[in-house]
Structure 1
């Protein structure tokens, strides 16, 4: 029923300080403007008004305390305004604005109408001028409209803050997903092969084949260095470092143990880091899958640049997808990660048998 004070009022300490300052100024003005002989009555009513004002400052999120504060401040302001005390009418104004800003429109309208009726009755009973009655009612109507406008502004700000928080949460989740893909792509390709080489070296040492074990350890060392280089390359791309995609692909092809043909069609254009990384990972994952399921098969990498999109197609000549030594490594998330990358960039990723082998095709719009 009431609006959250955190959105409607701003920081708690600032709201409290501002409220105390305004309350102090209005209280001092009401005392100085009190008619002669009515200072004790004014002081007694002001005590009630101050307690009501403190009620909504101390408990801004409590519906009961808010209503109690509105009643004390509004009624006290009406009594003092009828003494007569022009400055005290400000308490009625504050109560009307506060109700319109914090309560639902139907409830705030009832509060404002109630204060207007009480003010009108008090003016008629004390014989106040009609112009003061009319002016007071007009001011209360303006206060209601102003409070409703402020409430709408507060609601828009609240919605904007919630939207910003949701956007930040979505961006954090997207970053986590990206980091998860990077961890898979770097570790699955490096540590999987590294573990196989170390296990092979251990088995060779058990059988007294030291020379072959030394070769396996040497391969493991190269794989570890390649993994570090790959990590640095991934970090560089995430930071926005731009390296031509064709160069990255040729580096991958040079490090692959089987023949890899790289072809580039069209004029190569600079790509944003996310697109370059997605296509690079496509080639890397495809080569890893070929190593797993069709070891030794020749591979062709086709890069195609056009005015609207960039496409990479990786095709191997493996027949029947036989199981290789690394088939049990990895978690099976490679192709899923490629599809996620492509879809996040508005592209597509397809994979399946082609010409007796296997092909992976990724297209991303420019």
Structure 2
């Protein structure tokens, strides 16, 4: 479509230039220097209109056309006024050109016409008509300049929005992969450590059982990673809805995996679960997953207390555990920051609080309905 408009525009310029050239040579007036000055204006007009890039060269050619055509307007009995109007439109419409350059052209055109009128008496009505034409051409060019500037700004805004969406997609993928890897690889380390200890003790049956658990955990982690990537291929924000029991079921599955890795955990629920969006469900589930992974890393074997409380307008996840090294949990890794990013991205928001008092570490995530 843009190619078609460009071709039509070029054809219009060619037809206009051909008509002006015909009038210059076929008119009743004699062929003199003003004719060739008019032809210079025509050729400069065509070169400026057809050679759009680089825009500085195009602007210089339009300025040459304006000067030549303006000086020759009166001597050619108004034939070169068309190139004056076109040159003004080209200067004003070029939004990459400083506005003062276009304004200078609008002011210079009547002054140059006055120079060309020296020794001639075109009459006041003729001068007023040409002056009015210059004003109209300048206003039309200014309007076109503003339109192009707005379109350029709109294009830049769309590009920024696209970049922001891509950045959000990358951040979402990074959060999901971090949570999956922290959960899976952390569990694998524990399983492999236990397997090694069992082999050293000669308990091959128990070691084999641990090895199978490690393989199963690795397979689950790979599936989760694939789901995380696949989710980003669809519309951002995970607009699909989660069933009321999906969150509780997913957290219970995480707790079963935690216990299979040698951890100890309690789980309480309160209130009536309600239907959440996919993004809300993912925020709560990933927060529970990250909190359990942190507990295994920083307090292996210590009990973890998990609770989910549903109210009419929010759901609250609380995960509390002991820490072996007080003060070291809240500053490590990207998981806790990822929790806050997930909640911040939700349409209705929420909050994440991290508390550490003595040897107790607590993560509280609130998601608003």
Using the size of structure 2 for normalisation, the TM-score is 0.80
In structure 2, the partner of 1:341 is 342
Structure 2 CA distance, aligned partners of 1:18 and 1:175?
42
Q: CA RMSD in A?
A: 3.3
In structure 2, relative to structure 1, the CA distance for the partners of 1:72 and 1:15 (3 Å cut) is farther
User: Is the counterpart of residue 231 in structure 1 residue 225 in structure 2?
Assistant: yes
The correspondence for 1:261, drawn from 249, 261, 267, is: 267
In structure 2, the partner of 1:49 is 42
User: Is the counterpart of residue 33 in structure 1 residue 27 in structure 2?
Assistant: no
Structure 2 CA distance, aligned partners of 1:50 and 1:72?
10
Q: Secondary structure at the match of 1:349?
A: strand
Structure 1 CA distance, aligned partners of 2:226 and 2:112?
76
Q: Is the 8 A contact 2:173 2:229 kept in 1?
A: no
Residue deviations 1:93-132, cap 9 Å, x none? 0111222233333332221111112224435644334322
Structure 1 CA distance, aligned partners of 2:266 and 2:43?
84
In structure 1, the partner of 2:102 is 108
Structure 1 CA distance, aligned partners of 2:309 and 2:205?
45
In structure 2, the partner of 1:361 is 364
Structure 2 CA distance, aligned partners of 1:80 and 1:19?
25
* 1:29 CA drift (Å): 1.0
Q: Is the 8 A contact 1:123 1:133 kept in 2?
A: no
Structure 1 CA distance, aligned partners of 2:43 and 2:122?
26
Count of residues in Structure 1 that have an aligned counterpart in Structure 2: 347
Residue deviations 1:228-274, cap 9 Å, x none? 34335545765535433222222223333034313032x32222222
Q: Secondary structure at the match of 1:269?
A: coil
The correspondence for 1:81, drawn from 73, 76, 93, is: 73
* More off after superposition, 286-295 vs 296-305: 296-305
Q: Which 5+ residue runs of structure 1 have no aligned equivalent?
A: 1-9
Structure 2 CA distance, aligned partners of 1:342 and 1:69?
57
In structure 2, relative to structure 1, the CA distance for the partners of 1:104 and 1:273 (3 Å cut) is same
The correspondence for 2:88, drawn from 62, 73, 96, is: 96
User: Is the counterpart of residue 24 in structure 1 residue 14 in structure 2?
Assistant: yes
The correspondence for 1:127, drawn from 92, 100, 121, is: 121
The correspondence for 2:142, drawn from 138, 148, 172, is: 148
Structure 2 CA distance, aligned partners of 1:24 and 1:172?
45
Structure 2 CA distance, aligned partners of 1:222 and 1:314?
25
* 1:291 CA drift (Å): 2.2
In structure 2, the partner of 1:7 is none
In structure 2, the partner of 1:6 is none
Q: Is the 8 A contact 1:246 1:264 kept in 2?
A: no
In structure 2, relative to structure 1, the CA distance for the partners of 1:26 and 1:232 (3 Å cut) is closer
In structure 2, the partner of 1:72 is 64
Q: Secondary structure at the match of 2:317?
A: strand
